[in-house]
Amino acid sequence: MNLRTFGQLKSQIARVCGASGMPVTDPRVMEMLNLATEELLNEADFPWTVERVIFKVYDGRIVLPAGFDRIFGLNVDGIPQQINSPWYEVTQGSVGGGENWYGYWGFADFDCGNAGVTLDRDTVFQFRDIPRNQRYRLTVQTQYAEDAGAEILIKGYDYDRNPVNLLSDGTADGGERLPLTVAPQNSSSTFSEISGYVKPMTKGEVWINAVGFNGDTYHVATLAPKDESPFWRSYKVPGAGLAGCGCTDSSGCRISCVMARCRRRYVPVTSDNDFVMCGNIPALKKMVQAVWFSDAGDFEKYAAYKAAAVDLLKKEALAFRGKSKVPAISYQRGYGLGVMPYLR
């Protein structure tokens, strides 16, 4: 497996673009490479799609860093987790949802109240909830000076749970627009929840804080430079960190330590120095040809070239990982291996 930039492989990819190749300078070379990479990403969990991540979270709420789609497996504060689907809390036979499960799970037997269960909470637009103890406005600040006129549209709900919908040049944009500058810019509206962003590609990160009327400040989002409509995958570990163990930050907020195996999110290349997620040149060449035949309506050749590309990547994955795919010792959770939920 190799790690390559677009600049390092574009000349080889350009030779198979279109019916008879394209000049390296043709912008369609990058476009077709991105289409090929995005399609390959969904075919299997290749080595370049999976990464080990270690980070800290507040009060048992896990929000994956930008660039990751989902968690394959994880442990929280050293306790391996069983990940339940988003339907778990609303289907018959489950033990119920909510943040406090003390009556259903034997939390007293765990130092942190973490029973090894993690709930999938789908996507969110902020790392931390904005408190409801007072009114909060948002501040937006950039890492570097951006182009003149650059701005971000933030969608959400105000303190009274009404949609934020300010007029911009006489038009309602469904949110509030704020300039992107190094100096913090304050929103006119209050925000109790963020429901989406529309931003341009930026030179650096964009930081968003919620600032209360009494000065309380919470960092609620960091937007990556290439994120134009950012969102993050969210999980909840009921009870994690609630018993007072583990770490705390400088303000005394409870923190849990997370180690996870995560699936990477597709990120298109936009310059010669960007790493291509799939660095296997033979597979990329086959997939670029498959994309061309798909656009031309020749689905028989599309399927054949795509199958060849996937086969090359599977063989590469086997050579990279070896034949061992499971831990040396594996246990199924049972009554003899830990606390089980009480049935009522």
pLDDT of residue 328: 56
β 254-264/247-248 pair status:
antiparallel
Give yes or no: residues 77 and 98 share one domain. yes
Question: Based on C-alpha coordinates, what's the Rg of the chain?
Answer: 24
CA torsion, ordered 201, 202, 205, 210, to nearest 10 deg = -80
Report how far residue 151's alpha carbon sits from residue 140's, in angstroms, rounded to the nearest whole number: 10
pLDDT along the chain (344 residues), means of 10: 90 89 91 94 89 83 88 88 83 57 40 71 90 94 95 95 83 89 96 95 96 93 92 83 53 78 92 92 95 93 95 91 64 49 42
pTM of the model: 0.78
Residue 183, in any domain of the structure: yes
pLDDT of residue 78: 82
Give yes or no: residues 245 and 110 share one domain. yes
Give yes or no: residues 150 and 226 share one domain. yes
Report how far residue 268's alpha carbon sits from residue 30's, in angstroms, rounded to the nearest whole number: 9
Q: Which structure tokens are listed for 40? A: 């390959």
DSSP codes joined into one string, 147-172 = PTT-EEEEEEE-TTSPBP--EETTEE
Residue 253, in any domain of the structure: yes
Chain centre to alpha carbon of residue 169? 34
Residue 118, in any domain of the structure: yes
pLDDT of residue 86: 82
Residue 327, in any domain of the structure: no
Residue of 99, 89, 105 lying closest to 341 (CA atoms): 105
pLDDT of residue 186: 96
β 50-58/117-124 pair status:
unpaired
pLDDT of residue 294: 94
Give yes or no: residues 89 and 112 share one domain. yes
Give yes or no: residues 240 and 220 share one domain. no
β 117-124/82-84 pair status:
parallel
Residue 342, in any domain of the structure: no
Residue of 59, 10, 61 lying closest to 37 (CA atoms): 10
Q: How many domains does the chain have?
A: 3
Report how far residue 51's alpha carbon sits from residue 317's, in angstroms, rounded to the nearest whole number: 14
Give yes or no: residues 247 and 307 share one domain. no
Give yes or no: residues 189 and 112 share one domain. no
Report how far residue 226's alpha carbon sits from residue 145's, in angstroms, rounded to the nearest whole number: 16
Q: Classify the phi-psi angles of 170: left when phi > 0, otherwise alpha if psi is within -120 to 50, otherwise beta.
A: left
Give yes or no: residues 16 and 147 share one domain. no
Residue 68 amino acid letter: F
pLDDT of residue 92: 72
Residue 343, in any domain of the structure: no
DSSP letter, residue 192: S
Residue 273, in any domain of the structure: no
Residue 36, in any domain of the structure: yes
Q: Which structure tokens are listed for 282? A: 């033979």
Residue with tokens 């704020």: 178
Q: Which domain holds residue 95?
A: 49-125+234-265
Give yes or no: residues 194 and 219 share one domain. yes
Give yes or no: residues 164 and 220 share one domain. yes
Give yes or no: residues 109 and 182 share one domain. no
Give yes or no: residues 116 and 255 share one domain. yes
